[in-house]
């Protein structure tokens, strides 16, 4: 239905229509330009919410309900685009998706929904954000938003690409920071020593990156009239869950549910793993890289509630 080099236009009307390019696996791909780190979400909240700032502070995001959300990113928010790409980075097989509706693996790197789905659900737009490459995608799906994320995608310089989106009409953009990478199960296994501790130097590097990202976002907000880029903090909510798991009903923080939970992801997390857990609600991570749906729900809720005012 869609060709890789096509562009689409949103159904939201503003002075200059926002044009988003479709996925591409090359290093220069615009589909990956907004992803700020290895774990990233971009939710573009379109600029047709013509409300004053004073009114915006008194309302919730559900009250304002953006007409569409478009997401760029990697495997953290891939809703199944990799199903239709020539790559080994797939997860359209069990046990992925076992808690999704019907127990169906959809290409989402989790046991159920991923953050992009939960964003549109939280905003009251629709229940799921479909992958752009899905051949069954309908025109109406485009008008309320689609997902361009692709597992394993790379990254381009963020400043120039944000400015490019601004030139194409984007006025409401959310960019996530980097999570505590040193606490991912895979990184604990590879560099956390015999105790598989969080790798503090990796977390320090993430913190340094986040501070520079925040400064760059603020600079762009000052330079480009009418632009509102929201800095979306996922580092602290996720680290808080890892440090205080019992407060949210978690028990296991240092490994994923799938397989041993120490290193498995994608093809290594499969139906032939006899040690996959039976109760993933106790786990922060589904596999050695990606959170469970329960974790995503908690983090997404916190990010939306905290960052709403940043869009106005």
Helix (H) or strand (E) holding 69: strand 69-73
Of 127, 143, 155, the C-alpha closest to 40 is: 155
Tally of CB atoms within 10 A around 308: 17
CB burial class (10 A; 0-12, 13-18, 19+) of residue 136? Answer: exposed
CB burial class (10 A; 0-12, 13-18, 19+) of residue 189? Answer: middle
Which of the residues are catalytic? 75, 287, 290
Q: What's the N-to-C CA distance of the chain in angstroms?
A: 36
Q: Does the bond joining 95 to the residue before it have cis omega, within 30 degrees of 0?
A: yes
- Residue with token string 């991570």: 285
195: its two tokens? 């105790």
């Amino acid at each position: 239905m869609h060709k890789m080099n096509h562009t689409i236009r949103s159904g939201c009307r503003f002075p200059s229509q926002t044009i988003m390019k479709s996925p591409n696996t090359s290093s220069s791909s615009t589909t990956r330009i907004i992803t700020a780190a290895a774990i990233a979400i971009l939710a573009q909240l379109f600029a047709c919410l013509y409300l004053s700032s004073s009114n915006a502070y008194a309302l919730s995001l559900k009250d304002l309900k953006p007409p569409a959300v478009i997401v760029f990113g990697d495997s953290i928010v891939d809703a199944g685009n990799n199903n239709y790409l020539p790559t080994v980075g797939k997860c359209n097989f069990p046990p992925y998706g076992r808690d999704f509706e019907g127990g169906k693996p959809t290409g989402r790197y989790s046991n159920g929904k991923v953050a992009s789905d939960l964003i549109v659900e939280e905003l009251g737009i629709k229940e799921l954000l479909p992958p752009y490459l899905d051949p069954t995608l309908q025109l109406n799906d485009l008008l309320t938003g689609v997902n361009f994320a692709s597992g394993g995608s790379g990254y381009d310089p963020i400043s120039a690409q944000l400015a490019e989106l601004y030139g194409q009409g984007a006025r409401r953009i959310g960019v996530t920071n980097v999570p505590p990478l040193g606490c991912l199960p895979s990184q604990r296994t590879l560099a956390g020593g015999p105790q598989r501790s969080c790798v503090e130097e990796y977390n320090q590097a993430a913190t340094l990156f986040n501070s520079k990202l925040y400064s760059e976002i603020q600079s762009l907000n000052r330079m480009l009239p009418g632009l509102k880029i929201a800095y979306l903090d996922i580092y602290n909510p996720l680290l808080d869950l890892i440090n205080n798991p019992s407060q949210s009903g978690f028990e296991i923080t240092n490994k994923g549910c799938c397989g041993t939970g120490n290193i498995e992801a994608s093809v290594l997390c499969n139906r032939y793993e006899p040690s996959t857990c039976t109760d993933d609600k106790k786990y922060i991570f589904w596999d050695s890289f990606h959170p469970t749906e329960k974790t995503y729900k908690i983090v997404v809720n916190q990010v939306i509630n905290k960052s709403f005012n940043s869009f106005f």
